[in-house]
Structure 1
Amino acid sequence: MKIKAAVLHAMGKERPYNISNPLLIEEVELKKPQASEVLVKIRAAGLCHSDLSVIDGNRPRQVPMVLGHEAAGEVVELGPGVKGLAVGDHVVFSFVPVCGHCKHCTIARPALCENGVAANNKGLLLSGESRLENQQHQEIFHHMGVSGFAEYAVVSRQSIVAIDKTLPYDIAALFGCAVMTGVGAVINTAKIRLGETALVTGLGGVGFSALLGALAAGASKVIVADVNKEKLQKALELGAHVAIDTTEENALEKLRDLTDGGVDVGLEFAGVVPALEFTYNATARGGRTVTAGLPHPSKTMQLAPVKLVAEERTLQGSYIGSCIPSRDIPAYIALYQSGRLPVNKLLTHKLRLDEINEGFERLAKGEAIRQILTFDASSADAVSSRMNSDVLQASL
């Protein structure tokens, strides 16, 4: 079938992206789902920094590629052998397909699924094949097994989780990356305990989700750190106890004074080494630092092993929030529906597919938290539902 999709042909184009247009809206061919695959009509997809990192070349991927890994949609066709789903089901995508039988899957660490990660690195589905091609019948690669910036997607059964049909698609999409990664980093990776103090560095969609997750988990004090004053103010409105501008003089000393020597848990989502170093140094003796940021592969940080050992610190990575998607996505949705995880407040813009480059320029400038592409609203509805300003609004 022929579909419209946002295709990246070359990484590293100059900004502004609304002028250079790194993503081209093209008509591509989407093949039918094969064994253990599903055809999904995309209803909503989020613009994430991980997509931006492919566009700007910080996370090199094969091109041409249909981007987008945070999405929600409706099942329209099942391939042979698919179980546990029906046509009409609503689903959220997980950007690591879970094979279920590699050594990491068998010990309940699907974020490290060897076959899923290998397929993602090659730009293919779990089957090792692509279902996308251009009009010249040349292969187009999949992004993280999802390729959600399109009208439809064929994905592995292991890349989707069925959800409550009453959940709006634009909210549901957030659970595929921002919420799963941010809340999962707090609960699954850091294993924050009731009454502990936490620092969240880097206030994108994932960082804000981590803030809400830390509050829901019972942290006694949650401090946020960023360089964007509007985002710091937004974090305070969402419940953060203290906001720190890391560009201010003595920001680290101020934080340590506020927490009697440092926080129990530091969580970093900015994706730049100075932010990770700030977060690590802001933890107390015995503190735990968790990072889900993804700087360019060439970037490194300096670490004094004596401090790591003598102060019993930990530094740990977190990928997809160390989640088991089939367990955690429904659990986090239930938290949202109970009012304890108000992730709807993270939505700042709704876009049409042809506005996607404008959206990524806005994201690169730090003027959005979560922007959502919608595929089932009229053009007028999509435009009217957006914020009237590119600056974050306190009333959101």
Structure 2
Amino acid sequence: MAGSTFQAAVLRETGAPLSIEPLTLAPLEPGDVLIRMHAAGLCHTDREAMTGAFAVPPPVVLGHEGAGVVEAVGSAVQRVKPGQHVVCTIYAACGQCYYCRRDQPMLCDMVVPNHRAATLSSGRKRLRDAAGAEVGHFLSVSSFAEYAVVPEAAAIPVPDDIPFDRACLLGCSVITGVGAALRVARVGLGDSVVVVGSGPVGLNVVQGARLAGAGVIIAVDRRADKLERAAAFGATHTMLGGEDLAAQVRAITGGRGADHAFEAAGVIGSLQDSVDCTRPGGSVTILGKTDPNRLVELRFGSISGERRILRSSLGGAKAADDFPAYAQAYLDGRLCLDELIDRRLPLGSINEAFEDVERGDVIRAVVVMHE
């Protein structure tokens, strides 16, 4: 494969559309895995890289939700082999640092520096453009391409039976939302849950709460069409966002408030709403994103009563365990993935699809390749 050309969506300049252009691969290093990419989901984080809200040095191939087939492996790779179906994770943990030794691979010391530099775990780049210049790897994945090189720890085997366009969603939106319910907040049997925001992450929180056996699942959004979808994912109650949200939640939960609230809208005001919806001793998990330098204010009295406020970025992910488990849950009919996809498109239409993402017109659009 080294030296052969393939098509990729390259960010050449912040604020500009992606450029579809031919790239080549440098020879694999010992820890590299070459993946023939079959499907890649479009995520708001990719859009943030395009606009500059997420700083990454161009040129870089974007995309971080990806699924495909292992084409080749480096000489030191042991956990995957050619022919296996894999889903990519952005957390290619080193397994040796302070956090990895404490079973917190999502906090690995090596991950963020590589993400910021657009390199693989080796600190180097394997992609080359037509002029021979290096092209970066977005979040160590770069799934908006016909082929991707990732670190061994970023390629997680999944059952062959799960279609690639469904499997790729496990890499970010699914593990973020479902994991927030199961791993971070630890929703329990019969618990009451309120989810503010019914986008791709919020919907997955809803179905994570359903999988946990929550008794009451309240979905909140400003769009009625999104609430209809939340009901299909397992919400027992739906509410249009607005005034008196906390009062409505208390009315449903016996006057106490919810055991767990999830802020999945990325709106500063909804964070206070989420806190107000919880009972004393409840938890608030923050999933939505906003300007990282923006100050957040909360009424001090609202966080009394042993409430826990948590921030989760990828659902406490342990991808090596979670991806196969969630894939099997889909195959068993317990996890909704088909219903997340509103649009499938070829790589050449990716800029048009990002306009839909920006408007909030799709839950997930998926680039399909090699079909």
Fold similarity call, TM over 0.5 = yes
In the alignment, which residue of structure 1 is the partner of 2:19? Answer: 24
Identity over aligned pairs, percent = 35
- Are 2:266 and 1:271 equivalent residues in the alignment? yes
**Which segment is superposed worse, 197-206 or 41-50?**
197-206
Provide the C-alpha distance between the structure 1 equivalents of 2:333 and 2:12, rounded to a whole number of angstroms: 42
CA contact (8 A) 2:88 2:155 kept: yes
Aligned partners of 1:215 and 1:256: how far apart in 2? Answer: 20
Structure 1 spans left out of the alignment, 5+ residues: 14-21, 378-396
- Which of 246, 249, 265 is the matching residue for 1:255? 249
Q: Which residue of 2 aligns with 1:244?
A: 239
Q: Is the 8 A contact 1:32 1:39 kept in 2?
A: no
More deviation in 87-96 or 56-65?
56-65
Q: Secondary structure at the match of 1:144?
A: helix
Q: 1:229: how far off? A: 1.9
- Contact 2:275-2:302 at 8 Å conserved across structures: no
Alpha-carbon contact 2:220-2:239 (below 8 Å) kept: yes
CA distance in 2, matches of 1:242, 1:204: 16
Q: 2:339 aligns with which of 314, 339, 345?
A: 345
User: Is residue 363 from structure 1 mapped to residue 363 from structure 2 by the alignment?
Assistant: no
**CA displacement 1:71-124 (0-9 Å, x = unmatched):** 101001111111022111100001111100001011110000111222112211
Q: Aligned ranges for residues 191-340 of structure 1 at < 5 Å? A: 191-246=186-241, 248-259=242-253, 260-308=255-303, 310-340=304-334
Q: What SS does the aligned partner of 1:42 have?
A: strand
Shift of 1:307: 3.9
Structure-2 separation of matches of 1:42 and 1:324: 22
Match of 1:375 in 2: 369
Q: Which residue identity does 2:9 align to in structure 1?
A: A
Contact 1:58 1:297 in 2 (8 A): no
What is the CA–CA distance in structure 2 between the aligned matches of 1:90 and 1:36, rounded to whole Å?
A: 18
User: Tell me, what secondary structure is at the counterpart of 2:315?
Assistant: helix
Q: Does 1:132 align with 2:127?
A: yes
Letter aligned with residue 55 of structure 1: M
1:58–1:295 CA contact under 8 A, matched in 2: no
Residues 94, 325 of structure 1: 8 Å contact kept:
yes
Give the equivalent residue in structure 2 for 1:7.
10
CA contact under 8 A between 2:67 and 2:168: conserved in structure 1? Answer: yes
Provide the rounded CA distance (Å) in 2 between the counterparts of 1:4 and 1:187: 38
* Cα separation, 2, equivalents of 1:107 and 1:237: 37
User: Displacement, 1:270?
Assistant: 2.0
- Mean Cα displacement is larger for which, 52-61 or 321-330? 52-61
Output the CA distance in 1 between the equivalents of 2:14 and 2:223: 26
- Matched residues in 2 for 1:32 and 1:185: separation? 38
- The 3-state SS of whatever aligns with 2:217 is strand
Task: Give 1:198 shift.
Answer: 0.7
Contact 1:262/1:283, CA 8 A, preserved across alignment: yes
Is 1:185 the counterpart of 2:180? The answer is: yes
Change (3 A) 1:185 1:35: same
Give TM-score, length-normalised by structure 2: 0.95
| Distance change (3 Å), C-alpha of 1:10 and 1:274 | farther
The alpha carbon displacement at 1:269 in A equals 2.1
Give the secondary-structure state (helix, strand or coil) at the position aligned to 1:348.
strand
CA distance in 2 between partners of 1:374 and 1:286 (Å): 45
Return the offset for 1:304: 3.8
Q: Corresponding residue for 2:77?
A: 82
RMSD across aligned positions (CA): 1.5
Shift of the alpha carbon at 1:320?
A: 1.8
The 1-side partners of 2:283 and 2:239 are apart by: 20
Structure 2 distance, partners of 1:245, 1:63, is 40
Q: Could you tell me how far 1:55 is from its partner in structure 2?
A: 2.0
Please give the alpha-carbon distance, in whole angstroms, between the structure 2 residues aligned to 1:283 and 1:11. 40
Alpha-carbon distance, 1:367 to partner: 0.9
Cα-to-partner distance string for 1:23-43 (whole Å, 9 max, x where unaligned): 111112222321111110000
Quote how far apart the aligned CAs of 1:306 are. 4.8
What SS does the corresponding residue of 1:185 show, helix, strand or coil?
A: helix
- Contact 1:48 / 1:205 at 8 angstroms: preserved in 2? no
Equivalence for 2:55: 60
Distance 2:263 2:45 in 1: 15
